[in-house]
């Protein structure tokens, strides 16, 4: 009966949209570093930690306002408590454990054993509670019991909470964690040296009335100060035996220090690429829109150079040498295989909303077909442009799902034809296209604002602005109309193709906007 009720609740929670959304929201806020609002939450918690510590410091020698004490002891503690409980809640799903166990038991034809499930749940939750971070969180709440004055020292644990909110600390600890075994060995070595030297120095010095080492605690203190190479000098050995031990400890201290420094350095140098990659991926995730170039060879390098003037460009290539080249050229490049779905998963990007176009610019048809099929396997709509190296493979790229194919050889053939046929016209078009000449051809999209004052072609005063209207691209017809009739209606989303001095075109564009504003 009870188990039926518990199961009903579990199924209800597991299928309830509101419950799941709320849990997901708190998970994002507390644990998901890529969640947009997490940084604000973290900033708020950091601020509370600082307020708390400032009050603690102030309280040492001065009187602190009662409200501030109340705020520190109750409000901040309660906020930390709520946070602790929320983290405990989102750390695992109780309902899922229940449902899984029920499915498991019903498959075996047995009734649900509630005790077993609760033990399992307790085990999972205890695993979280006993994690270092959760322990720090818990200790940071303890000052709430402020009547127990000795518990006040736990206020300092609030400082340790900073580790949770500042990501650099997390990176630092994860780097050091990679050398866990080496650090453990070093710690063992240092502990043994400290223990042995403490005992020896105590034996050598404790009976000497001139020596300041009188207790084993003094000996331990001296050993730690000496092995760390700090050497305050408040306690010094005076017997020959004691000095000999000092020499051994000092030598061991230098070794320990050198070893630990080299450990930290090597841990960082080994993880440097990984840290950089994580940072790059994080930065990419935050981008609103960019072009994704797959493969970095000569054409890709030129395209990236040209596009990067106005847009963000991200490069993926599995070859380290080409990635290095891209990085040297000043682009954000990742050593990911563009032909692997895993690469896009690692990037954590939303292709539909963030990627303007994917450019398959490897100078190999095989690679470009493969990349296209990879992208199409999880996204049907993103615009893909690909280089074609051999005409015989054109249909393969089309079948794979490329939207636009660029075949350099055909292009060269057409340029040759134009050049021998109409050299002047060819140069004119080339000049219009090039960014270097002052005369440009630009496309201006008709916006809703423009339509408020201009409804027909003849209402545009382009001649006054010394701008030639080559024609209009009608969005509805998906067709370009050269030299349109004066009474042609303008519609939102249509494009005007304008030729003229780039300054005049800009002026004209401003006029189209301004007039509508006025």
Partner 1 sequence: MKTRSALIFGYNEFALEIANNVAHKYENITIFKLDDETKEKESEKYSVASFDLSDDWNTLESRFDMENSVIFCALLDDATNIFLTISLRASFESVSIISLAKDKESANKLTMAGASKVIPIVQTTASIISDMLKKPIVTEVLHNILYEKSNLKIAQVHVEQDTFFGGQHPYEIDWKNKYGIIVLFIVHEDMNSEFIYSSKASHHGIKNGDKLVVVGYEEEIKLFEQNVGSRYE
Site residues for partner 1, 249-308, by CB under 8 A, read: 291, 298-299, 301-303, 305-307
- Least spacing, CB of residue 298 vs partner 1, in Å: 5
The whole-angstrom separation of Cα 505 and Cα 339 is: 42
Query: Counting contacts by CB under 8 A, is residue 409 touching partner 1?
Result: yes
Pairing between β-strand 468-474 and β-strand 439-445 as defined by DSSP bridges: unpaired
Residues 6+ apart with CB under 8 A from 250: 226, 227, 229, 231
The whole-angstrom separation of Cα 59 and Cα 128 is: 34
- Tell me how many residues contact partner 1 (CB under 8 A): 66
Q: What is the DSSP code (8-state) at residue 142?
A: G
Query: Counting contacts by CB under 8 A, is residue 176 touching partner 1?
Result: no
- Least spacing, CB of residue 347 vs partner 1, in Å: 20
Query: Counting contacts by CB under 8 A, is residue 24 touching partner 1?
Result: no
Q: Is 115 in a helix, a strand, or coil? A: helix
Residue closer to partner 1, measured from CB, 157 or 504: 504
Whether the CB-CB separation of 455 and 489 falls below 8 Å is answered with yes
Residue closer to partner 1, measured from CB, 8 or 410: 410
Whether the CB-CB separation of 143 and 155 falls below 8 Å is answered with yes
Among the listed residues 154, 290, 473, 508, the single contact to partner 1 using CB under 8 A: 473
Residue closer to partner 1, measured from CB, 81 or 495: 495
Q: What is the DSSP code (8-state) at residue 466?
A: T
Among the listed residues 225, 257, 264, 406, the single contact to partner 1 using CB under 8 A: 406
Helical residues (DSSP H) of 33-131, grouped into ranges = 38-61, 66-70, 77-91, 94-107, 114-129
Query: Counting contacts by CB under 8 A, is residue 366 touching partner 1?
Result: no
The whole-angstrom separation of Cα 387 and Cα 364 is: 8
Among the listed residues 466, 510, 513, 514, the single contact to partner 1 using CB under 8 A: 466
Whether the CB-CB separation of 252 and 193 falls below 8 Å is answered with yes
The whole-angstrom separation of Cα 496 and Cα 484 is: 10
Query: Counting contacts by CB under 8 A, is residue 355 touching partner 1?
Result: no
Residue closer to partner 1, measured from CB, 134 or 292: 292
Quick note: the x/- pattern for partner 1 over 426-465, rule CB under 8 A, is: xxxx-xxxx---xx-xxx----------------------
Residue 124 burial by CB count (10 A; 0-12/13-18/19+): exposed, middle or buried?
A: middle
- Least spacing, CB of residue 410 vs partner 1, in Å: 6
Among the listed residues 413, 452, 459, 461, the single contact to partner 1 using CB under 8 A: 413
- Least spacing, CB of residue 359 vs partner 1, in Å: 7
Residues 6+ apart with CB under 8 A from 384: 357, 358, 359, 360, 372, 375, 376, 401, 402, 403, 404
Query: Counting contacts by CB under 8 A, is residue 408 touching partner 1?
Result: yes
Strand order in the sheet with 332-334: 332-334, 312-316, 290-294, 355-360, 384-388, 404-407
Quick note: the x/- pattern for partner 1 over 489-508, rule CB under 8 A, is: ------x-x-xxx--x----
Residue closer to partner 1, measured from CB, 157 or 465: 465
The whole-angstrom separation of Cα 497 and Cα 460 is: 13
- Least spacing, CB of residue 431 vs partner 1, in Å: 8
Interface region with partner 1, contact rule CB under 8 A, candidates 35-43, 59-67, 95-103, 351-359: 351-359
Query: Counting contacts by CB under 8 A, is residue 222 touching partner 1?
Result: no
CA 33 from centre of chain: 7
- Least spacing, CB of residue 409 vs partner 1, in Å: 5
Binding site for partner 1 (CB under 8 A): 291, 298-299, 301-303, 305-307, 310, 356-357, 359, 361, 385, 387, 390-391, 404, 406, 408-429, 431-434, 438-439, 441-443, 466-468, 470-471, 473, 480, 482-483, 495, 497, 499-501, 504
């Amino acid at each position: 009966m009870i188990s039926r009720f518990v199961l009903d609740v579990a199924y209800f929670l597991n299928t309830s949209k509101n419950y799941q959304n709320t849990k997901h929201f708190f998970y994002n806020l507390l644990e998901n570093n890529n969640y947009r609002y997490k940084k604000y939450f973290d900033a708020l918690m950091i601020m509370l930690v600082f307020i708390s510590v400032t009050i603690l410091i102030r309280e040492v020698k001065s009187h602190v306002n009662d409200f501030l004490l109340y705020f520190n002891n109750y409000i901040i503690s309660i906020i930390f408590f709520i946070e602790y409980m929320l983290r405990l809640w989102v750390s695992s799903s109780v309902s899922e454990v229940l449902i899984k166990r029920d499915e498991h038991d019903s498959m075996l034809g047995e009734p649900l054993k509630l005790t077993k499930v609760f033990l399992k749940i307790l085990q999972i939750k205890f695993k979280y509670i006993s994690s270092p971070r959760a322990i720090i969180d818990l200790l940071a709440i303890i000052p709430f019991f402020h009547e127990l004055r000795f518990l006040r020292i736990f206020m300092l644990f609030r400082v340790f909470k900073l580790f949770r909110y500042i990501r650099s600390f997390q990176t630092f600890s994860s780097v050091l964690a990679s050398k866990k075994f080496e650090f453990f060995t070093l710690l063992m070595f240092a502990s043994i040296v400290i223990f042995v030297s403490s005992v020896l120095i105590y034996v050598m010095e404790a009976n000497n009335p001139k020596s300041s080492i009188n207790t084993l605690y003094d000996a331990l203190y001296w050993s730690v100060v000496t092995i760390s190479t700090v050497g305050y000098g408040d306690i010094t050995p005076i017997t020959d035996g004691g000095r000999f031990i000092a020499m051994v400890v000092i030598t061991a201290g230098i070794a320990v220090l050198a070893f630990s420094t080299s450990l930290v350095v090597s841990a960082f140098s080994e993880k440097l690429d990984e840290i950089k990659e994580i940072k790059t991926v994080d930065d990419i995730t935050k981008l609103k829109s960019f072009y994704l170039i797959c493969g970095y060879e000569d054409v890709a390098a030129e395209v990236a150079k040209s596009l990067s003037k106005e847009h963000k460009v991200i490069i993926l290539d599995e070859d380290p040498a080409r990635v290095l080249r891209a990085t040297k050229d000043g682009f954000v490049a990742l050593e990911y295989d563009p032909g692997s779905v895993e690469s896009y998963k690692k990037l954590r990007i939303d292709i539909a909303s963030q990627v303007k176009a994917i450019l398959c610019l490897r100078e190999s048809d095989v690679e470009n077909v493969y990349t296209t099929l990879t992208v199409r396997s999880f996204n049907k709509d993103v615009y893909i442009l690909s280089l074609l190296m051999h005409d015989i493979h054109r249909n393969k790229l089309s079948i794979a799902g490329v939207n636009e194919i660029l075949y350099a050889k055909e292009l060269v053939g057409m340029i040759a034809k134009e050049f021998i046929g109409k050299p002047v016209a060819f140069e004119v078009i080339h000049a219009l296209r090039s960014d270097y000449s002052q005369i440009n051809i630009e496309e201006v999209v008709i916006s809703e604002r423009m339509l408020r004052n201009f409804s027909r072609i003849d209402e545009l005063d382009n001649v006054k602005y010394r701008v030639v209207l080559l024609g209009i691209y009608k969005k509805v017809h998906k067709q370009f109309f050269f030299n349109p009739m004066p009474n042609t209606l303008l519609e939102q989303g249509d494009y005007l193709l304008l030729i003229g001095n780039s300054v005049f075109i800009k002026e004209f564009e401003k006029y189209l906007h301004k007039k509508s504003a006025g």
